[in-house]
Structure 1
Amino acid sequence: MGILKKINVFRRSLMRNLTKNIGKASSQEDIILVDKTDIKRILICRPNGRLGNLLLITPLVQEVTEIFPNCKVDLFVKGTLAPIIFENYDNIDKIIDLPKKPFKNLLKYLNVWISIKRQKYDIAINVDQNSSSGRLAVQFSNAKYKFYGDSAEESQNVKNDYDHIAKYPVYNFRYYLTKLRFPKSNKIVAPLDLKLSSAEIINGKNIINSIVHNTKRTICIFTYATGEKCLSEEWWENFYAQLKDEYQNYNIIEILPVENVSQIGFKAPTFYSKDIREIGAIIASADLFIGADSGIMHLASSVQTPTIGLFSVSNIKKYEPYDNSSIAIDVNLSTKKEYFKIINSILNNGKLSIYSDAM
């Protein structure tokens, strides 16, 4: 581990210890929310700029806007991806983004915190209880109801999918609402959703047609991932050879990462773009996506394409793709025979997508 990484690990650990008790002493059980139509502005805090982490809060945003349909939601995030991801979310109003390097953008950094304090919110929500900046933002906000993201033990004990990073914020927030005398909800947590437009879907289909020039069904693969999550070239080359042999009646298109590298040596037809929504539209037009745990895997899940996540080191229960026949495979425990049994099952069942009518 490099010296800078060690400093960052120490800094995060220190900040978590300093902020973990923020909000613990406050009790709002004596506050009753009489009319949910009174909720006009909500702040959701997820100060993280990674593609996957931002996509993983879309279920919570859907939950909040379904409960409070008349509200406007501000997002406290980091980086520049949030306006792209939430482009078609009608209830999203302001994107309040922390600079990635606060000490190089100190004035902007301070202005962000000032803007949170100046705006009057009805509810402030921290997504991740371990986020120091998230807890501080809720504490600092001028909100009547403050939810710090703390775990709901009741949900932990009865929900077998509670550990999932997209789901436990929803379960925790539902539990918090019961403290405000809201009825208990047992609805299934919404899937990740990029909310592609019909025009974007049509464009994705047209791009695929320009790559393959045929009417075969399509499988998209993504062979890259960061750090230890990235499977070896040998693994991918063997898997791709078997995939190509088994599914000769399918197009196999490799989605390339921003680094423009390929673990199979660019042997498959490829698509490269830095436009997240365009990449999503390509995957939405496919029948199956296969890739290691990464932001692009969550992107595939967010466009309702059946997604097979290949896990080697990540926590499957926390990050696995879900909904629409999606599944995680532990490559350390599964055989290639089992992979293809799963692939066959998904392809034979067909794709059920909210985007089908646009294709």
Structure 2
Amino acid sequence: MDFLKKTNIIRRNLTHRMTKNIGNSSTTNFIPINNREDIKRILICRPNQRLGNQLLMTPLVQEVINTFPNSKIDLFVKGNLAPIIFKNYSNINKIIQLPKKPFKNLIQYVFVWLSIRKKKYNIVINVDKGSSSGRLSTKFANSTYKFFDDENEYSKLKYKDYKHLAKHPVYSLRFFLSTIGISNNVEMAIPSLDLKLNSEEITEGKKMLNQLIVNKEQKTICLFTYATGNKCYSELWWMELLEKLKKEFKNLNIIEVLPVENVSQIAFKIPTFYSKDIRQIGSLIANTDVFISADSGIMHLASSVQTPTVGLFSVTDMDKYQPYNKNSLALNTNILSTNEIIKKIETITRN
């Protein structure tokens, strides 16, 4: 591990210890909200640049829009992905972007932080209780009501999927809003991840897919064989899975979406698609029938375009990160053989 990575880990650990007790979603001395129409300005804080983490925020953003349809929402984020992900979210007013590398852009970094203090919000929402910068920004922002994503025992005991990073903040926000006079139908389903592709993007994705496949009448399986760190499966593992996929699904097309690194764990043995455009990748995946990958940001991208997604897990927590959309699966490869994985995939291809 190089010096910068070690320094970053130490920094994160120290920051987390210093900020873990910052802020509580307390309603003491707050005037209950009698009319949700009074909530006009909302700030949602998720200062993290990772694709997966920002996509996992989309159910919460939809929940806020559904609850306060006439509100204008600002997002406090990091990096350049949020404007791409939330391009078609009409309630988004402003995306406040921290630079991805703060030490190289220190003056900009400071001014971005100061900007969330200048504006008066009705509610500020922290997406992830474990985010130090999220809690700090929620505390720092100028707002009447502040939600820090505190756990509550009621929701924790009631909902089996409470731990999931796309669902937990929605459950917790619903509970918090009920304490300040905003009643919601708490039994409503949590919104799915949603990139909100438009019809033109879907059509373009179909054209790109048709350039890769031979049999345009058959279903298509899409693979993504890369992942970061120890989440990445070996070439040997992926090659074994590919051969069994080919044998079991002889009449189906199989393609691979490549990562930005332009590498393949199956040695480019099948038709490949490469792009750095997240929405373009999403539009292609949206036209496929099954998506298979290890836990990664692209896995969540597949979920966000409503393609049935098979998430492969060996080291990360499935309860927190499993793909979330209709007909998706999370598979623990520590206990399942490739033959068993094939049988699980077969259940999705039948739908």
Other-structure match for 1:224: 226
Distance in 2, Cα, partners of 1:19 & 1:26: 17
Q: Superposition pairs for residues 109-120 of structure 1, below 5 Å?
A: 109-120=109-120
Other-structure match for 1:153: 153
Q: Superposition pairs for residues 314-333 of structure 1, below 5 Å?
A: 314-333=316-335
Cα deviation digits, residues 303-338 of structure 1 (max 9, x gap): 000000011111010000122100100111012222
**256-265 or 338-347: which moved more?**
338-347
Which amino acid letter does the alignment assign opposite residue 336 of structure 1? Answer: T
Which amino acid letter does the alignment assign opposite residue 226 of structure 1? Answer: T
Q: Percent identity?
A: 58
Asked if the contact 1:122/1:145 (under 8 Å) is kept, the reply is: yes
Asked if the contact 1:28/1:180 (under 8 Å) is kept, the reply is: no
Gaps of 5+ in 1: 350-359
Which amino acid letter does the alignment assign opposite residue 287 of structure 1? Answer: D
Query: SS of the counterpart of 1:212?
Result: coil
Q: Does the alignment pair 1:5 with 2:5? A: yes
Which amino acid letter does the alignment assign opposite residue 344 of structure 2? Answer: I
Other-structure match for 1:309: 311
Asked if the contact 2:123/2:147 (under 8 Å) is kept, the reply is: yes
Distance in 1, Cα, partners of 2:293 & 2:148: 33
Other-structure match for 1:356: none
Distance in 1, Cα, partners of 2:348 & 2:206: 20
Distance in 1, Cα, partners of 2:214 & 2:340: 31
Shift of residue 246, structure 1, vs aligned partner: 1.2
Distance in 2, Cα, partners of 1:16 & 1:29: 28
Distance in 2, Cα, partners of 1:83 & 1:285: 23
What is the number of equivalent residue pairs in this alignment?
A: 349
Q: Superposition pairs for residues 44-59 of structure 1, below 5 Å?
A: 44-59=44-59
Query: SS of the counterpart of 1:37?
Result: helix
Other-structure match for 1:92: 92
Other-structure match for 1:194: 195
Other-structure match for 1:288: 290
Asked if the contact 1:254/1:270 (under 8 Å) is kept, the reply is: yes
Distance in 2, Cα, partners of 1:317 & 1:26: 28
Pair 1:29–1:290, CA change in 2 (3 A): farther
Asked if the contact 2:231/2:295 (under 8 Å) is kept, the reply is: yes
Asked if the contact 1:223/1:291 (under 8 Å) is kept, the reply is: yes
Distance in 2, Cα, partners of 1:247 & 1:20: 49
Asked if the contact 2:282/2:301 (under 8 Å) is kept, the reply is: yes
Pair 1:122–1:30, CA change in 2 (3 A): closer
Pair 1:31–1:295, CA change in 2 (3 A): same
Q: Does the alignment pair 1:70 with 2:70? A: yes
Cα deviation digits, residues 265-316 of structure 1 (max 9, x gap): 0000000000000100110000100010000000000000000001111101
Which amino acid letter does the alignment assign opposite residue 205 of structure 1? Answer: K
Distance in 1, Cα, partners of 2:83 & 2:68: 21
Which amino acid letter does the alignment assign opposite residue 10 of structure 2? Answer: F
Shift of residue 115, structure 1, vs aligned partner: 1.0
Shift of residue 30, structure 1, vs aligned partner: 4.2
Other-structure match for 2:280: 278
Asked if the contact 1:152/1:171 (under 8 Å) is kept, the reply is: no
Correspondent of 2:246 among 244, 247, 260: 244
Asked if the contact 1:59/1:167 (under 8 Å) is kept, the reply is: yes
Cα deviation digits, residues 100-126 of structure 1 (max 9, x gap): 121211111111112101111111001
Query: SS of the counterpart of 2:196?
Result: coil
Other-structure match for 1:269: 271
Query: SS of the counterpart of 2:104?
Result: coil
Which amino acid letter does the alignment assign opposite residue 225 of structure 1? Answer: A
Other-structure match for 2:178: 178
Pair 1:27–1:182, CA change in 2 (3 A): closer
Asked if the contact 2:34/2:182 (under 8 Å) is kept, the reply is: no
Other-structure match for 1:102: 102
Distance in 2, Cα, partners of 1:29 & 1:162: 29
Distance in 1, Cα, partners of 2:2 & 2:175: 41
Distance in 2, Cα, partners of 1:28 & 1:137: 20
Asked if the contact 1:98/1:109 (under 8 Å) is kept, the reply is: yes
The alignment's C-alpha RMSD in Å is 1.3
Query: SS of the counterpart of 2:255?
Result: strand
Asked if the contact 1:28/1:179 (under 8 Å) is kept, the reply is: no
